[in-house]
Structure 1
Amino acid sequence: MKKILCIALVLIFAFGALAGCGSGGTNTTPSASPSASADGSASPSASGGAANGGTIKIGILGPLTGEAAQYGIAVSHGAQLYIDQINDAGGINGKKIETVVYDDKGDPTESVNAFSRMVDEGITGLIGPVTSKPTLAVVDEALTYNMPLITASATAAAVTYNADTQTVNTNVFRTCFIDPFQGEKMAQFANDVLKAKTAAVIFQTGDDYSVGLKDAFVAKCEELGINVVDQEGYSKGDKDFKSQLTNINSKSPDVVFSPNYYEDDGMLVTQARQAGIKATFMGGDGWNNVSKYASPADLEGSVYCSGYASGSTDEIKAFEAAFTAKYSGETPDMFSAQAYDAAIVLLDAIKAAEEKGLEAGSDDYKAAVIDAMKNTTSVGLGGKYSFDEYNNPIKSAVIMKLADGKETFSQMF
């Protein structure tokens, strides 16, 4: 009888221990893909405590590995910096912000799958995705849940506005410029500042970002009277642009608009100079960090549109110092800064929902966050934020110029 009693007690304690493992423990953030934090360590959990309603979960989604990882890591770091600063200051309404970070590898399917897991884990808002195609894929899912979403870097116009149905994606915002805005700005700059009369374009076919900027640039040039003498396309993965650049050189344009990403743009400029092209090269915000991919001599005088100018204000200098201190000397870029701003806008909106006494993650809570984002008075690194009727930011463009191998602030335009 004593033996049976002992066995029973052992079983009771065993089941109790298992129950303790299944609930009431510390809620930790999953690792990317499942997920790693952008610096390669375990993804941080900002909660520091049990999942008992004392935390608010925010998703950060983007490519932490793969060819677009430079952008994803920059975004993740920028957003996490501000979230950590808020947590260090006591959180929001006494609650800490817990980040759920996933790596989508820049792939739309991976991005949708990661978002679904984030929803299951109880996020109440999302920063990301990073590039346009994954963001467009996630937007459809986010609409289903009315999930507050703000991207720091997805520039395709369709992210916030569905032209087919002529409807605004009311839950989706961004802190970056849209593709048409950048293309139009650079055409205007070519006309007003560079006094260009002729232009050529070289772009990646099938890429939403590249094609979007190209189309807007060409249309604006036609409106301004700039003759677009050549439009050359290339395929993803191409390394040899001799044929396209030879065609462009034969037309002797004043400017060449290259609305692609930094690595391709570096190769294009290098090969263009080898082909004898003397024109001023121009680009969009995908040129950020292009100085690492071409020589100072080849890049000299090139200009691109950006949303960020390093060291241009006291606020930006403070951000840069905090970023460098947190990430072991790493230098922030435009994507880091725009992600920092995205976190400001989202967390300010969450604060507004908290002040209403709503339950984090509920439908009413998410609606309150979205309403606060639409009517934001947040002040980011680029100044006070507001959004137009399509949830795109209203702010001036920064023109960056390549001089002596450095990407330097030229002017606001």
Structure 2
Amino acid sequence: MRKTVVLVFLVVIMTFTLFGQEVIKIGMNFELTGPVSGYGQMSRDGVMLANKLKPTVNIGGKEIKVEVVAVDNKSDKAESANAIRRLIDHEKVVAVIGPATSSAALAAASIAEERQIPMVVNTATNPLVAQNKKYVFRTCFEDTLQGALLATFAWEELGAQNVAIMVDVAQDYVVGLANYFEKAFEQFGGTYFTEFYTTGDQDFTAQLTDALSKNPDAIFMPGYYAEIALISKQARDLGFTGPMFAGDGADAPELIQIGGEYVEGLSYTTYFHEDAELSPATKPFVEAYQEEYNRRADAFGALAYDAYMVIVNAIESAQSTDPVKIRDALAQTRDFPGVAGTITYPQGSGNPIKPAVINMVENGQFVFRTVIKPRM
């Protein structure tokens, strides 16, 4: 009986009254400062647009305001854990969106699971983020799938048979994605070798000199945009003329700002491009994003937008602000029209099965190239 009273009390305080209006809080745990702040800022913009377009939820015929609360995890694992605790304990959120990166998401996921608060990540692709967890969901694909899609692209589209892989040993996402690529690429009959660095490194001459001595057909960079841009520049300066490709960590305007002409022709996997026909919801989102921010919509914002929308859809489906009921409704999500593709969570999994968009840098712009579908 006591547990029931406590649960009811918690649900009541999560839906509180501000100046006479009931408010439901959804948290944002994003990398708003630090080395990958570009990801967090794009993600935040996507959530804010979603909240503007869908500012209320209907529960029992009553429209209740949704307030989004952002906490900066500073692109740091420990700060990510602190951020989600603050959102849960002090802000009394009913759900959390983010983090955008796998390392930060891994630090937050166990806390969300322990506190039984739904957490929907937009672009944290490491499989461990949601593995064996009931309360963690994604709006993106996971790295086992992304690695396989990248291997398909390298073998079939680039014609690469021997690939040099540049691995940032400090990032869980990078190490994991490299491993999944390697396993899938081997199945095609491809060969590869790895060169290692650490986040923040600026000089990759030694690794690239060694790599180029082994005559790779292509260079794969499953890292983040700052290092990808520098590696690309130094590889070209050393005379490499073959194709270079990357994972979704390349998908930030800073890639082009840092890399300039040296990232021309770079291809990478991502989840979204406004020219890709992914869903009936894509075009209205693209138009609303352009009007709101006066720039092209990006993948991080699109997936964060979807994370917000799938949460409020679950709240309305559950007709409740109880986080446990919201979690159950999320798990039952089927054919939700996300702007970055339809979202269905397979039974017992928070990982949607989705295709990958392949973009290319062309004339200083991210240009849609193709869509690579999973081999089912």
Q: TM class, shorter-chain normalised? A: 0.7 to 0.9
**How many aligned positions are there?**
349
Using the size of structure 2 for normalisation, the TM-score is 0.87
* Residue in 1 that maps onto 2:13: none
Per-residue CA deviation, residues 76-117 of structure 1 (Å, 9 max, x unaligned), is 110121122112xx5433101011211111122222222222
User: Do the aligned residues in 1 keep the contact of 2:26 with 2:66 (CA within 8 Å)?
Assistant: yes
Higher relative strand content: 2
Larger radius of gyration: 1
What code does the residue aligned with 1:137 have? Answer: A
- Describe the SS at the equivalent of 1:294: helix
Matches within 5 A, 1:242-253: 242-253=205-216
Give me the whole-angstrom Cα distance separating, in 2, the residues matched to 1:326 and 1:406. Answer: 20
Q: Which stretch shows the higher mean deviation, 152-161 or 315-324?
A: 315-324
Distance apart, 1:170 and its partner CA: 0.9
Identify the match of residue 92 of structure 1 among 52, 58, 82. Answer: 58
Shift of 1:340: 0.6
Shift of 1:285: 0.4
Which of 319, 323, 330 is residue 366 of structure 1 equivalent to? 323
**Any gaps of 5 or more consecutive residues in structure 2?**
1-15
User: Is 1:155 the equivalent of 2:125?
Assistant: yes
**Cα distance in 2 for residues equivalent to 1:109 and 1:197:** 40
Where relative contact order (Cα < 8 A, 6+ residues apart) is larger, the structure is: 2
Q: Deviations over 1:269-298 (max 9, x none)?
A: 1100111112210110011132222233x3
Residues 199-222 of structure 1 show CA distances to partners (whole Å, capped at 9, x for unaligned) of 111111121111111111111121
2-side partners of 1:64 and 1:206: how far apart?
20
Gaps of 5+ in 1: 1-46, 162-167
Instruction: Quote the residue 2:247 is aligned against.
Output: 284
Aligned to 2:31: 63
Alpha-carbon shift at residue 325 of structure 1 (Å): 2.8
User: What displacement does 1:247 show?
Assistant: 1.0
CA deviations over 1:327-346 (Å, ceiling 9, x no partner) = 3x244311000001111111
Alignment of 1:15-164 (within 5 A): 50=18, 54-87=22-55, 90-93=56-59, 94-120=63-89, 121-161=91-131
**For residues 339 and 281 of structure 2, what CA distance do their matches in structure 1 show?**
6
TM-score (norm 1): 0.80
Offset from partner CA, 1:292-317 (integer Å, 9 cap, x none) = 22233x33332111100123347434
The root-mean-square deviation of aligned C-alpha atoms, in Å, is 2.1
Shift in Å, 1:404: 2.5
Match of 1:34 in 2: none
Q: Is the 8 A contact 2:39 2:100 kept in 1?
A: yes
Task: Map 1:10-409 onto structure 2 (within 5 A).
Answer: 50=18, 54-87=22-55, 90-93=56-59, 94-120=63-89, 121-161=91-131, 168-228=132-192, 230-289=193-252, 290-296=255-261, 298-313=262-277, 315-327=281-293, 329-354=294-319, 358=320, 360=321, 365-377=322-334, 378-388=336-346, 389-409=348-368
Report percent identity of matched pairs.
33
* CA distance 1:69–1:51, change in 2 (3 Å): farther
Query: Deviation per CA, 1:245-278, whole angstroms, max 9, x where unpaired?
Result: 1111111111111111111111111100111112
Q: Check the 8 A contact 1:86/1:92 in 2, yes or no.
A: no
Task: Give the conservation status (yes or no) of the 8 Å contact 2:359–2:366.
Answer: yes
Q: Distance in 2 between matches of 1:405 and 1:132?
A: 28
What is the one-letter code of the residue matched to 2:68?
T
